[in-house]
Every structure is written in structure tokens, then in C-alpha cells.
Structure 1
Amino acid sequence: MGRNTRKRRTPLATKVIAGAAALAIGGGGLVWANFYASAHEKNGGQNATKSGQAQVATINCPDVGQKLTKVPRKARWGVARELAQLDRQITEAYSRLAETRQAQAGDANYVDNAILGPLKDKRRATLDRIGINIKRAGGQERDLGRFAPCQGVPAEQPGGGDGGQNDGGQDGGGQGNEQPPADNGNGAAGPFAEDFIDINDVQPNSRDLQNGLAANGDTGSTGSFTTECGVNENNLFNSDNIIVAPGVDNGAHHTHDYVGNQSNTAFASDDDLNNAQTTCQNQGDKSTYYWPVLRLQDGTQEFDANDLGGGAEGNVGRILKAQQAEMKFVGNRTTDVVAMPKFIRIITGDAKAFTNGLANANTSFSCTGFEDRQVTDKYVICPEGSQVVRTSNFQSCWDGQNIDSANHRDHVAFVQPDGSCPQGFQAIPQLQVRLVYDVPAPTIENGQIKNPYAVDGFPEQLHKPITDHNDFINVMDEDLMNQVVQCINSGQDCE
């Protein structure tokens, strides 16, 4: 498969393969769970007894970018680069975590002393630079140092210190010898069998995340506008994120698909985007639509198998190109919509939802023929003849002033349960992205998933489906945006 032409740095580290047990997410935070119980029960044939020191599965650090809601505009570029540095530090620490399992087994304090301690020191220095950037630009001084410490997430379910048995624990073992599996059996740190669900086991209309609400209905502004931009036939891929990490190479730490704008790299200015080529049939739409690629972990050595953002950071296997990519703009159930401002940036979903919790989780998985069944925290297994569907409904309320915000979220909002926008926000066209993939159905044998598919992600997020996300920058010309608004407000379905 092709790639974008900008040369990627060759990593010095070997491919990160994490030994990791998984966590489930619920109630807005982390819920401890061991996803290996069935595998151990079937393969080990023994009751597991919890040892004193379970090994750490992954690393959980405060998401500083989401906490910086007030950053002066003059400081945002510098702050974004420092936030990207924090991400690099976590990735490097996670790599050390994955590569030092033997040392961890022999030293109960190894992770704290050799990984989390140095990580804290590096983060504190970076946070200090963020504070200096903000203060120099006239912002309020803040105590960011409290966000420096990170936690190690253990591989087994804590037993509350009672020393009793844990049916989901690792087999046997004495102090410090509990080792998470080396990988998921496919050479990657997730996903695992428990990250998948048969679509027949998903209850219809059960997805209840507020973020997943479609803004439109059969009242209000009922029209739509669909833009045809292809499925990345040009093979434009990179691991940048122009919204979150402008000017930073490999700012996403995972590979993105791009349709629409063809100049989308971390180094593109608004002028670059405005003057770019586009894959959209309507040449007035130079918007950039991008999302993490979906991969089949079948052993394929992709073009980025040795690159940062790819195999060097645990994103392995064959990139699956969507068979269909539908970008559709719809209205609001209670009112007309107003035009989106040019260059507005919108992110839906959260690439770090595994450790951040559910607050910004969005997107869903389903199967063709079963799209009344949507699930956010599982990948779906579809029956023969059915294809995997990824759906993202974007925020559709705008503060009327800003095209971006310090945390890239506060300038937009989701509709409220009744379909109206929060006070101070006005309705804009809601972007709905529907991606359809022809994915070989994975199988589960003895508690292990064979040939799974997964979205690319930050390595410490263990390829959890809850981390799926989608990104958009509006680069429609004024005439086309006015046409979008007119179609939606008049109840027409336009293309």
C-alpha cells in the first residue's frame, strides 16, 4: 500500500509489544477487570491466587491538554508542542514498561523507580515550560506540577487487600512473578477477546452515550447535504494531527486516513489548506476529514511497519481501506442551522478514552443490516455477508466566536437531550461520518482472538475500541457552505 511522500523518522527502538492485561471502562472512570480469566481457566486449569505484586499493564497519566481550557492565543502553538512532548514521554515510558518485564518480575519497585519516577521528572519539566508559555502570553499562572505523576495500571483486579483468591488473577506465582501475557497472540498489545462482541448479542437501540445523539430529526431543519470525497484512493497517510499537535511530526502516534484536503500534514497552515487539492467531487469542499486507520492484525508488514506511528508503536497489520466513506451534514431538531465558520476544527471521540474515561468517548461500531445495534466499547463480529460500520456524529453547536479552543472542545458542544443547543451556542450543520469496511470476521479460540481488527491508537491505550475518534476541519468555500445551510434549512436532501 502507498503512503504519503513525507519521509518518516526511523525509530531507534524496536517495535513495542506490551505485555498487558486490559481494563474495562465504565461510570466515567477506570473499572478494574481482568480480561484473561477465561484464557487462564481453560489453558492453565488451575485456580489462580493473587500474589503480592501484580505487574503493571499500562500507564495512566493526566490528560493535561483537556485540563487547559484557558490558554492565550499567542501561547497555543508553543503549548501544543509541549503537550506533544508529554505524549512522546508517555509512549517512551510505555515502551520501557513493555521491554523490561523480566526486570519488573524480580524487583517490586522497578516500575516506580525506573519508569514512573523518571517519567514524573520529565513531565514536571515540560509542564513548567507550558506554564512559562502561558505566563509570557499574559495568561494566569497555574500549578501544573500536580499533573506530573502518572500511575501504573496493574494487570489484575485488586482484591481490596484481603489476600484472598482472585478467579481472574494470573496462574500461580510468588511475589513479583505475575507476568501479563506477552501480547494478544497476534504480536500486539491488544485488542483481546473481551474487546469483541457478536452483533447478535448487542441490544437494539441500547447505545445511550449522550455524545452519540444525532442532532437531526423530523422537525426543525430536516434537510441534508452529502459530500462525496472518496475513500483515500490516493493513499494519503501520516501519523500527524494538525488540530492537536500542529508543527509536530508524529503528533498522533498512530496513522490516519485522509479524504478531502490533500495538504493535511502537521505543518500545513490555513492558507495551505485553502490552496490545496481536494478529493471531493465538489471542488468547493477542501475540508479535511480524517480518522485513525483500521488494521487487520494478520501479520502483514505494512509500509509503516518500522515507523513511528506504525509498527514501532504497536500499530501492526494490514491497513483496511473503507469500502464506503459517507460524509453527510444534517440539521437540528429544534431550529435552523447557521453556517460553520471557515477553518473551524472539531474532534469527536477521544483517542485516550481508555485512561481518560467516558467523558468524551464517541463513535460506534455496527454491522450492515444491523445498524439499529450500535456499540461504543466493543468491536463487533458481523455475520457472513455483513460489513463492519464505524459511525461518528460530530458536535453540532457552536459558541458563535471561535474556530478552535485551547482543549479543542470548548468552542463546540453536542445537542441536549431535547435536541436544542446549550445556552450561548447556536446550531450548525452536524457532520455524520459513516465508514463501511469489508473485514474478515475474527474468531476466538481458547480465550484468544485470532486475526482481530483494531483502530490505530496511542500504544498505552491497548487498541481499545472506546478510543476511536474522528477529526474535521471545515474548508468549504462560502458559496458551498451557504448551499449546505440552505439545503438543510429548507428540508432538501442535496449532494
Structure 2
Amino acid sequence: MIPTTRPRTTRQGHKFRAPLKVRALAAAAALLLGGGGTAVIAANASAGSTHRQPGHAGAGAHDAAPAGAVANTIACPDVGDRLPPVPDAARQRVSQGLADLDAQVARAYERTTASGSAGAGVLGELEQQRSATIGRMADAIGEGSARPSDLMGLSACSARTVRTQAASGEPTVLGAPMPGGPAPGDFADIRSAPVSRQPAARGGGSTGTFVSRCGRNENGHFNSDNVIVTPGVSNGAHHTHDYVGNVSTNAFSTDASLAAASTTCTNGDLSTHYWPVLRVLDGKAAPDANAPGGGHDGNMGRILRPSSVTLTFRGSPVTKVAAMPRFLRIITGDAKAFTSGPRNANASWSCTGFEERQLKDKYPLCPPGSNVVRTLAFQSCWDGRSTDSANHRTHVAFARQDGSCPRGFTAVPQLVQRLTYDVPARTAFAVDSFPEQLHKPVTDHGDFINVMPQALMAKAVGCINGGRRC
């Protein structure tokens, strides 16, 4: 659950991280781009190459890579994903602890990039820092409930070597890989991607849709907070988010402040929608090159505003949907999927005109005249009790393959955030990420807080269950 009162904290969550080496990253970006523009070649990509899980290849695959074709990163257990219920009095300290853990990994990763490897000294010091932070979090939880001793087993991290060059036959972005990603092998021709299929609607299903039109962040609402995961901590995300909908959302938002704010949505929907920004890597300095969430946290390049943002709520193929509770919080995807594994990953990349084909762990190379598409589909099954959970996941669930909800869950309208981008021709791009995630496409994710007035939610449910398009 999330605090409903303003947390007691400072706004200096970013102070724990030393700035990453912005000039070195900018120079590397220019190298990746070949000085003026990236030469993107979509050459004979094989569909079978697009679904290797990143970061999980066998050691032999890495050992066989030629010199200069690999990069080093650090993989740490995700403490936030393993949290038990957090008492109200401990929430702020736990939130700050999560932000501190991310900053510690970022500093260790910076040392790794500077030295060329994650040595025992770096990993040992990181483990000590994490152990102390996790201990404080466990103590805070233990003041109001059972102390979670199992969290201490999440202190140790490991070094990981990953391939940075495209394999034979894969499409490539020519030039040297940018330190911190993305790498040439992170791009694939959309025409090589498999065709995805949706379950067919049955009798009793809900086939309508409801759309909130909230613009495409024309008002420039950006910050590097994450009010769902690290409430009360400035720069808690360590990467920049695009926002549409509720105009007030930041780390210090509460249910009350969100309900009292205005919105960019034309129908009065006060909901909060946000996702990591997409940046073009054209070698040009961005305005936030030294700011938290930008170059301060290893995110380089010019932020690209979406060409379009479509926020659609759709039904279940097998049953009617119930109303979402107000202030329901949902996260889709996993910002740490590259090092934590694909269990919570839900990235989906495509191109206009080819959206029956979806890539999960590659950025798409689109044919001329086709725009990049990010599709962020949210969980559509709710436990009927909670508007949030300790790990922000277990109170909701994805539908099964046949479209039905798991036992104990109720179908609610499924939000789909569809974003399109007119990426400049022959230019590389990447989402913002935690630095050790190397800007991998599999880390893409979206966030949502339902602040629809009850009457508007009732209208949405009526449209969806009635088979109408609203």
C-alpha cells in the first residue's frame, strides 16, 4: 500500500549518487553514431534470433565473443520485488532504502565501467553497503510486524558479461557500442518478428473500448521520480519519465493531492500515466545532460516526444469487467528485467503498419515511413481488495492465455498505453533506464494510478461491457 499522507523526507534523493561520466558518454554516443548519423542496416535478420533472453546466455556464448564485443555490468537481487507488507510507520524508511540501493548499484557500476570489470573489491563493498541498507529496512518493518530476516540474503551481487555486437545475420547499428548501451545487437528488423495472436472473444465477453485522450505531454511534464515505487524520494527512479493526465504527479503526490489536481485529459480523467522517455542518440547534448534523471544518471541523448499517445481501456474476451477502484496503482513491465530476468518483463516494440509483429527484447528497425511503436499493456485482473501491494504486483495479475483471470481475481478494464515515435531516419534510440540495465529494450515499463471520478469509471465499464467504442 502507498502512503495517503505526505511522507516526511527531504527532496534530495539524488544526493547519494555521484554523476556519471557525461562527457565520456557523449563522446561514445558520437562514435556510435558515426559522427553525424547512425547507419542502420536491417539485413537478413532471422526471427529465431529475436527471443534470446538478455543477460541469460550461457558462459560459452560470452567466452566466444571477440575482444571488444562484450560489456560488463552488475546484477543484484531486486529487494523491492521481495518485500513483505510494510507497516505505515515504516513506509518512508523503506522507500528511502530502495532508492539508496539503486544509487549504490549505480555507483558500483560506474566503478566497473571505469576499470573494465566488476572486481571482488567493488562487489564486496557493494554487498556491505546493501547489507547495511537492507538491515535498516528490515528493522523498520520489524518495528510494526515480524522482521523479514530473509531480505538479508539479497545483499550479494554478481558481475555479468554481456554481448554488445550483433550476431551474424542480425541487423546492426553500425559503429562502436555506447558504454551503457544500447548495443548493435539490441536492434532487429520488425519484419523478422513473430506474429502475435490475441485470444478470440467468446460469448459473455466484453468487447467494447473506452479511450481517454490526454495529449502527448505537450506541457513538458517530466521528472525522475516514481511515486509508486519510491514515494517521497526525489529522483527515486534515476531515469526521466514522460507524464500525461494528472498534472501534479511527482514523488510527493498523495491520493488527496491527485484528486484535487487538474488533468490534460479531455474527459476529466484525473489518472496518472507515466513511462520512461525515449531518447534519440544523435550525439547532441541534451538540456538535462547534467541533471538528475538525465546525464547525472547515465541517460544521454535528446528526449523525443511521442507523435501520438493512445490510452485505451478494453475488456475481457471471456467475461464482463468490474470497475477499477479509485487510486489503484499498477506497474507493467520491469525496469530491472535485464539483470533480474524476464519474469516480470512485458515490453512490446513494433512499427506502424506491422503491429501484428511484436519484439520483446529488441528495438525495432522500421521501414521508411513507419513509426516506432511502444505498447504497454497492463494487468487486467484485480484481487478485489487492495489498491496496491508491497511489491506493487501481487494485488493484480495478467489474464491467462485464454483470457480468464486466475482464481481469486476479478476482471477489470485493461489499460493499454500505445505510444508512437517519429524517430529521425538512420538514428539510434533507447529508453531511459537504470545505468546497469544498459538501456536494454526489455526494461521498458509503464505506470498507472487510476484517479478517474467514479461516474467516469462507470461510463467506461458500461461502454466496455456493452460492446461500444467510447
- TM-score for the superposition, normalised by structure 2: 0.84
Q: Which residue of 2 aligns with 1:334?
A: 318
Shift of 1:71: 3.0
Call closer, same or farther: CA 1:29–1:76 in 2, change over 3 Å: farther
Q: For the Cα contact (< 8 Å) 1:383–1:441, is it kept in 2?
A: no
- Which segment is superposed worse, 301-310 or 394-403? 301-310
Asked if 1:250 corresponds to 2:235, the answer is yes
Q: For the Cα contact (< 8 Å) 2:285–2:302, is it kept in 1?
A: yes
Structure 1: tracts of 5 or more residues without a match: 1-5, 41-47, 105-109, 158-167, 169-182, 207-212, 443-450
CA distance in 2 between partners of 1:153 and 1:77 (Å): 32
Deviations 1:321-362 (A, max 9, x none): 111100000111111111111111000000000011111110
Q: For the Cα contact (< 8 Å) 1:215–1:332, is it kept in 2?
A: no
Asked if 1:373 corresponds to 2:368, the answer is no
Call closer, same or farther: CA 1:36–1:374 in 2, change over 3 Å: farther
| DSSP 3-state at the match of 1:493 | coil
Amino acid at match of 1:154: T
Asked if 1:13 corresponds to 2:32, the answer is no
1:435 aligned to 412, 419, 423, which one?
419
Call closer, same or farther: CA 1:292–1:218 in 2, change over 3 Å: farther
Q: For the Cα contact (< 8 Å) 2:330–2:393, is it kept in 1?
A: yes
Q: For the Cα contact (< 8 Å) 2:332–2:447, is it kept in 1?
A: yes
Asked if 1:203 corresponds to 2:194, the answer is yes
2:120 aligned to 112, 128, 140, which one?
112
Call closer, same or farther: CA 1:304–1:28 in 2, change over 3 Å: closer
Asked if 1:226 corresponds to 2:226, the answer is no
Q: Which residue of 1 aligns with 2:261?
A: 276
Q: For the Cα contact (< 8 Å) 2:104–2:130, is it kept in 1?
A: yes
CA distance in 1 between partners of 2:405 and 2:436 (Å): 35
Amino acid at match of 2:452: M
Q: For the Cα contact (< 8 Å) 2:62–2:70, is it kept in 1?
A: no
| DSSP 3-state at the match of 2:388 | coil
CA distance in 2 between partners of 1:29 and 1:130 (Å): 29
Shift of 1:397: 0.4
Q: Which residue of 2 aligns with 1:66?
A: 81
Shift of 1:154: 2.8
Asked if 1:410 corresponds to 2:386, the answer is no
Structure 2: tracts of 5 or more residues without a match: 1-10, 29-49, 168-173
Shift of 1:37: 7.8
Asked if 1:477 corresponds to 2:453, the answer is yes
Q: Which residue of 1 aligns with 2:41?
A: none
2:308 aligned to 324, 332, 335, which one?
324
1:145 aligned to 146, 149, 152, which one?
152
Amino acid at match of 1:62: P
CA distance in 2 between partners of 1:214 and 1:188 (Å): 41
Q: For the Cα contact (< 8 Å) 2:350–2:364, is it kept in 1?
A: yes
Q: For the Cα contact (< 8 Å) 2:53–2:361, is it kept in 1?
A: no
CA distance in 1 between partners of 2:163 and 2:277 (Å): 30
Q: For the Cα contact (< 8 Å) 2:84–2:148, is it kept in 1?
A: no
How many equivalent residue pairs?
428
Q: For the Cα contact (< 8 Å) 2:225–2:238, is it kept in 1?
A: yes
- TM-score for the superposition, normalised by structure 1: 0.80
Q: For the Cα contact (< 8 Å) 2:199–2:401, is it kept in 1?
A: no
CA distance in 2 between partners of 1:302 and 1:215 (Å): 45
Amino acid at match of 2:248: S
CA distance in 1 between partners of 2:361 and 2:120 (Å): 30
Shift of 1:242: 0.5
Deviations 1:41-99 (A, max 9, x none): xxxxxxx6x9xxx9970000000111114333443332122111111111111111122
CA distance in 2 between partners of 1:361 and 1:260 (Å): 24
| DSSP 3-state at the match of 1:124 | helix
Asked if 1:31 corresponds to 2:57, the answer is yes
Matches within 5 A, 1:71-220: 71-101=86-116, 111-113=119-121, 115-155=122-162, 185=176, 187-205=178-196, 220=205
CA distance in 1 between partners of 2:71 and 2:333 (Å): 26
Higher Cα radius of gyration: 1
RMSD: 3.0
Q: For the Cα contact (< 8 Å) 1:257–1:291, is it kept in 2?
A: yes
Q: For the Cα contact (< 8 Å) 1:15–1:313, is it kept in 2?
A: no
Call closer, same or farther: CA 1:9–1:387 in 2, change over 3 Å: same
Deviations 1:291-331 (A, max 9, x none): 00000011222221111211122211111111110000011
CA distance in 2 between partners of 1:417 and 1:8 (Å): 40
Shift of 1:363: 2.5
| DSSP 3-state at the match of 2:442 | helix
Call closer, same or farther: CA 1:25–1:239 in 2, change over 3 Å: farther
Shift of 1:463: 0.6
CA distance in 1 between partners of 2:365 and 2:63 (Å): 19
Amino acid at match of 1:111: G
Q: Which residue of 1 aligns with 2:279?
A: 295
Asked if 1:360 corresponds to 2:344, the answer is yes
CA distance in 2 between partners of 1:235 and 1:217 (Å): 42
Q: Which residue of 2 aligns with 1:448?
A: none
Amino acid at match of 1:78: R
Q: For the Cα contact (< 8 Å) 1:188–1:315, is it kept in 2?
A: no
CA distance in 2 between partners of 1:56 and 1:14 (Å): 17
